[in-house]
Structure 1
């Protein structure tokens, strides 16, 4: 039978392929971790190649590693001075051996070892590149240039909820003699969600206009946790923050990129709280010194002017003494003049009163005589106006039926009865 016409079952083909592939010796392969999933017995991972500036992989290989082997690899990484976490987005160089899984026809490779030096170099290059970019944009010192309150008593705190870092930080502030007020914004402080969680907490605290400072703290732990604070996005958020940001990430030797852009980088949460207390103490001492300087200056000022005031007082006393003597002499002269004027005025008024008194005596008699003459004249006029006197002279008076005097003929009409009064009696008649 012609070999080209020979037919194989799928299993035969995949088994032959497996033998061929697995005869390939183990090799070192480097790439970017795109996916990792840790199961109880096996860890699955994918690494890929990317063109610069592109997120589309050029080639991808699926990997697997037994859990015990993966634990040994992580222990190997932890033994280095600058360990890192095996996670997506970091570059690794792995020793792998190709395998074919016949039941699913899947080509994959088993992880045998890792080269930590390769990854550390890549991480260092990445960290250096980010640091250089931040420096060129002026972000390393931007937050450091933000004014820090003299008494930073209102503190925004970003840390894990219920953590030792929170307790250490808040306890240290509570033990101080100052009334610190903590506004917490809890966040994830390790793992892949560190960046987004801390940035979200920063935005939450930004809405509080009364905060004086924000502190990002976490306690000690694995050195691999430090890499989460090398995030470029997180560094930019802190660098551009409107108020000072303190860090106390709990690593005494290594510094994260976040420490580089922060206003103040502290080694532990307690040290971070200590810096705030020291700032408050410095401000308090400065206030006390200023108060003492003001008091001392006031005492010196009063001392300098005390003699001047005393001299001025003596001069004023002398001036007032002379003025008092002058005024006393003037008043005495006025009193003598006033006494003379009053004596003259008294005599003048006394003479006038005597003249008025004599005038009153003579005037009263003349007034009475004048009024008496007027009365007698009026009496004569009244008597002359008496009707009896008119009748005595031969005149008559005409009265109407009602007894009223008739003064005009127009008041009468035919038939009216009238009475004409004469000196000797009355005559009644009727108008025709």
Structure 2
């Protein structure tokens, strides 16, 4: 006991020092807050040194109030770079050496936060992500809206009330998420993925009402910014109050100052489209009426001209038909007279011609009969010629048909002689 007391007294003479590092653990347990800070090398996630710190709950509350009331407020949380004033001491009952937190330097953390924010903004700008979602075309009539906000919050009520008060039938598809604290990033990312699967959604709105300024630091998340910048449809943000602007607002397709302003902007887009539609409809109606009037006038003029032309054509056709009828009657008499005369001539011709045709045919028949008789074998034999037949009675026309021993029959005018070929 005396030994530990002497050590504590010796440590009491040691002056307090300022140390900085990243908070890797923060546990509030009863009246004591346990914090660990670590120092890291660039590019290495393994700490090169770690210090465990303690702080009474009352003292920690004072430190928290100090950071939250700074010109640019922030919350003491894990993964935050801080600069604490600490003093070494020993816990006598266990003989454990420990360090107690006395104060915090907000300027150091604010500087680190600003540098981090600037570095994220620079990376996003270099990759063209600040304008990527803004370049997506806004739907002309965004009636189906995906909404990411806290459940049963004033932001949800303000947003939906403003839409309900409009003359348009909006359909809101809410996905509730945590809008403050360490789970903000993961919760909103999950909500974005859920809404991505709904093909009917025209735009997505991320809204949050006012509150502690420290809560808005969660919307500087680089992962959130990248998700919104690369989102396939326009994303609207309405986070906090008019003076609040997070990195998420920088990459959003449309930045609005409050949830109500976000809903108002959507109504304005719908109203603009509706007004253009009404104006276009009026222009079409006026143009249609003018076109119909012109067409009616043109049709009336064309009808009148057509009526005049048809009447003139009918009269001309009547005159032509009357002339044709008169000519036809006159020509028919001439044609009938000529045809009757031709028929009479043909009748007489048939009488005379028939006899001539029969006489000519008879003469031709007699000539043919004379030729036939001239080539009759009997008449040829009678002139002194002979007719030689083989044993089968066929004509023998040349010697090549015969061989030795064949029997021949030769017909003469006055009889037949048989002979044998040798």
Q: TM-score range by the shorter chain?
A: 0.7 to 0.9
Judged with a 3 Å threshold, the aligned counterparts in structure 2 of structure 1 residues 339 and 172 are, in CA distance, closer, same or farther, namely farther
Mapped contact 2:129–2:229 kept (Cα < 8 A): yes
The count of aligned residue pairs is 337
Deviations 1:286-320 (A, max 9, x none): 11111112122223333444544443333222211
**TM-score, with structure 1 as normaliser:** 0.73
Aligned-pair distance for 1:58? 1.2
Question: Counterpart of 2:93 in 1: which secondary structure?
Answer: helix
Gaps of 5+ in 2: 335-422
Question: Counterpart of 1:104 in 2: which secondary structure?
Answer: coil
Mapped contact 1:31–1:91 kept (Cα < 8 A): yes
Question: Counterpart of 2:167 in 1: which secondary structure?
Answer: coil
Give the aligned CA root-mean-square deviation in angstroms. Answer: 2.3
Q: Which residue of 1 aligns with 2:360?
A: none
Q: Which residue of 1 aligns with 2:179?
A: 189
Please tell me whether residue 231 in structure 1 is matched to residue 221 in structure 2: yes
**TM-score, with structure 2 as normaliser:** 0.75
Counterpart CA distance in 2 for 1:289 and 1:341 is 74
Q: Which residue of 1 aligns with 2:354?
A: none
Deviations 1:299-355 (A, max 9, x none): 3333444544443333222211211211222344466678889999xxxxxxxxxxx
Counterpart CA distance in 2 for 1:70 and 1:278 is 47
Aligned-pair distance for 1:39? 2.7
Counterpart CA distance in 1 for 2:51 and 2:110 is 22
Deviations 1:122-167 (A, max 9, x none): 1000000000000001100111111221001110011111111111
Mapped contact 2:244–2:257 kept (Cα < 8 A): no
Which of residues 46, 60, 78 in structure 1 aligns to 2:50? 60
Q: Which residue of 2 aligns with 1:201?
A: 191
Mapped contact 2:216–2:240 kept (Cα < 8 A): no
Counterpart CA distance in 1 for 2:23 and 2:90 is 21
Counterpart CA distance in 1 for 2:330 and 2:93 is 148
Mapped contact 1:22–1:100 kept (Cα < 8 A): no
Which of residues 270, 275, 283 in structure 1 aligns to 2:273? 283
Q: Which residue of 2 aligns with 1:20?
A: 10
Counterpart CA distance in 2 for 1:338 and 1:221 is 110
Judged with a 3 Å threshold, the aligned counterparts in structure 2 of structure 1 residues 331 and 40 are, in CA distance, closer, same or farther, namely farther
Aligned-pair distance for 1:202? 0.3
Moved over 6 A (4+): 337-344
Mapped contact 2:67–2:76 kept (Cα < 8 A): no
Judged with a 3 Å threshold, the aligned counterparts in structure 2 of structure 1 residues 22 and 56 are, in CA distance, closer, same or farther, namely farther
Mapped contact 2:21–2:39 kept (Cα < 8 A): yes
Counterpart CA distance in 1 for 2:170 and 2:328 is 80
Q: Which residue of 2 aligns with 1:138?
A: 128
Gaps of 5+ in 1: 1-10, 345-432
